[in-house]
Each structure stands twice: as C-alpha cells, then as structure tokens.
Amino acid sequence: VLATATPDHLCPGTAPALAARLGLGTVPALDIAAVCSGFVYGLAVCHGLVTSGLYERILLVGADVYSTWLDPADRSAGVVFGDGAGAALVAAGRRGDPGELLAFDLGSDGTGYDLISVPGGGARARASGKPAGPGDGYFRMQGGTVYQHAVERMTGSCRTLLDRVGWDPAEVDRFVPHQANARILRAVAERVGIAPQRCVTHLERVGNTGAASIPLALADAADGGLLHPGDRVLLTAFGGGLTWGSAALRWPGTPQTMCMDSMEGTQHVAPR
C-alpha cells in the first residue's frame, strides 16, 4: 500500500511498480491519494485488511517528492516542503501486545478540494477544453485558509479519538502530528491539551514531507530515545482533499514493531 500525492504517472498507480522493484512478485498493490493524511489513512486500510483475515502482512509506504511539483517562482512553498519516504510492516498479532493500535478517526470535506491542489493534468482539466495555464502543473495552497482548517480538523479528530480510547490528554506520552509547520503543530497540541515537550517534531530539519512525515518523525523519535515500550502515542494528520485522520497506539519497543488492535483482532506495524 503506497500513500503518495506525487505518483510516478497519472496512470497507472505507482504501488505495483514499487512492489515489483522490491521483488515482491505478484502481490496486490494499490495507491492511496489522501495527500498529507495518506499514512494515517494507509494504516487504517492495512488494519482493516489484516483484521478481516484477508492478509497477514502488508507493507505500508508513505512517500512524496514535492520538489517535482513546486513552482520555482514560489519561494513561499519551496522553503516549507521536502522529499521523503517511510515504511511500516503491518502484520497479524495478539491483542494486548506492545504496539497495540487502539482506534482510528478519519474524515474528509470535499468542498475544500481546491485549497490544496495541482490544478492541471487531471481528467477534469483535460475535459474542460481550455488550454493549461502557465502555473497549472504546480502545487498551489491557500495558506491562511488551510491553516484554519488544519488546526480545527486535527484538534477535533484528536479529541474524538482520545474520548474513544479513554485517554486524558495528560496521559499521551508522545504526540506525533503530520509535520506541516511549527505554528500548526503548536496550535493543535495546545488546543488538545498536550504539553510541548511531548510533541515530536523534526520538520526543522526535513520540512513537510507529506505522507512520509509521520513515519519519518516516528523513526527519528525512536532513534533519539524518545519512545519507550508501552508509550501511549497519538498520531494526527491533515491534507488536501480535504482529508484528516488520527490514530492511537502503544509503542512497541525493540525492534520497532507496532501492533495494531481492533475489535476483531490485533495487528503489528514495524516502522523502518
């Protein structure tokens, strides 16, 4: 399962080619286009596929190459985004194991589809019969409005999920939001009630890497000794679409393996 907003081509999807490059043979493969929410959406999809009994092990990849779609004349976006990739192995496990994933909260609002977009290249633009504008192939974002939506949606999603799993914000050991920008992260953490020292950030070094940002932040925190077995971890993300989502899990320990739990069964996820 590949979460990406920068596929190799409009058609076909990139996941089958990635599976082939990894030597995985004829396994099923699919793309998820939830932009910066892609990794959380991907976790939910993989969770469902495993708990249904359809598959026992699924490789989830979050990867984006923002440098390919940034307008070189738009310095405001160029200094924010970066290229990156992260992966996790989702596999069947036992309920109560370290790394247990407790619940998801997902949402979307298509009325705001144009707030984060690449206007040209798709079927809608082609069907219009109008010639492409000079900047239609580049990434466009309405920053002020996106900020408001991102803070509101991630805050609401986190609160809903905390209520669902019965965690008080003070009980969250590590808060790992999508690494959009520092202002958004601080605003969401403050509104949810999570102390700044429990918020995992590394965007000051890598920028906004889209669907890769959460797995990269988790790997960075684990390498830095910030995550410990059994830690209560809250993930949240917001992206184009508009899409958003959150996940609650217990950190696995060593090796880096997260197990994902649902009402039907348990899964493990191993970030790499």
The per-residue pLDDT for range 145-163, each reduced to its tens digit, is: 999 999 999 999 999 999 9
Distance CA 178, CA 242 (A): 14
Distance CA 128, CA 138 (A): 18
Which pLDDT tens digit goes with each residue over 239-263? Answer: 999 999 999 999 986 554 444 333 3
Which one is the CATH code of 2-93: 3.40.47.10, 3.90.1150.10, 3.40.50.150, 3.30.2020.30? 3.40.47.10
For residue 271, whether the previous peptide bond is cis, meaning omega lies within 30 degrees of 0, is no
For residue 177, whether the previous peptide bond is cis, meaning omega lies within 30 degrees of 0, is no
- Helices in 85-202 by DSSP H: which ranges? 123-127, 143-165, 182-192
What's the confidence (pLDDT) of residue 271?
Answer: 44
Nearest to 232 by CA among 271, 200, 203: 200
For the domain made up of 101-252, give the CATH fold.
Peroxisomal Thiolase; Chain A, domain 1 (3.40.47)
Q: Which residues are catalytic?
A: 36, 178, 208
**Which ranges in the chain are annotated with CATH 3.40.47.10?**
2-93, 101-252
> pTM score > 0.75 for this model?
yes
